Amino acid sequence: MKSRTAYLGLLLAFALILSYIETLIPFQTGIPGIKLGLANLAVVLCLYLFGWREAMFLSVVKALLSGFMFGSLSMIIYSAAGAFLSALVMIGLKRTGWFHVPVVSGAGGVFHNLGQLFVAGLVIETYGVVYYMPILMVAGLGTGIVIGMVSSLVLPYLQTIISKGNL
């Protein structure tokens, strides 16, 4: 149990480091909400290494802490909604056993953006945000698939390390 907690702490630290690195990358598209989603790598890894409870916990805590450290209250609200919905969808798809990691992660990217659009619609109280949906879905799918491919490459090594109990 102690090592599991240590690994989850390392994944959270990894997620926060990736969140910080993402703030340093000058990635401007002109469309609000499009991000690389680097920190979601930690969530995908957690889902496949430890399970759904830990992944949901990591996803929400990552959204809260990265918002406090690198953003604002509004960022926390948008990010937490997207993170929660994304984690829910990824958990559901993984549990079916039908989908590979990049597909699960890609769906997570799409639903992260949909969660943020839902909150934006509630906050702004207009349906104009719907016009962003196709672009955000394509961006979420693309970045999610890339994150999933990286996860697929890294997972076997982490599973070996964890099974041996070495860090």
pLDDT, tens only, 86-120: 999 999 999 998 999 999 999 999 998 888 888 87
The owner of tokens 């104009």 is 128
DSSP for 61-97, written as a single string: HHHHHHHHHHS-HHHHHHHHHHHHHHHHHHHHHHHHT
CB hemisphere CA count around 151 (13 angstroms) = 27
> Which CATH number characterizes residue 79's domain?
1.10.1760.20
- Provide the 3-class DSSP secondary structure of residue 35: coil
- Residue 34: DSSP 8-state: -
Query: Is this prediction's pTM over 0.95?
Result: no
Q: Is the pLDDT of residue 167 over 60?
A: no
Q: Which tens digits make up the pLDDT trace of 20-65?
A: 888 787 766 666 666 777 888 999 999 999 989 999 899 989 888 8
pLDDT at 74 over 80: no
Number of domains in the chain: 1
Domain that holds residue 33: 2-164
**pLDDT for res 32:** 62
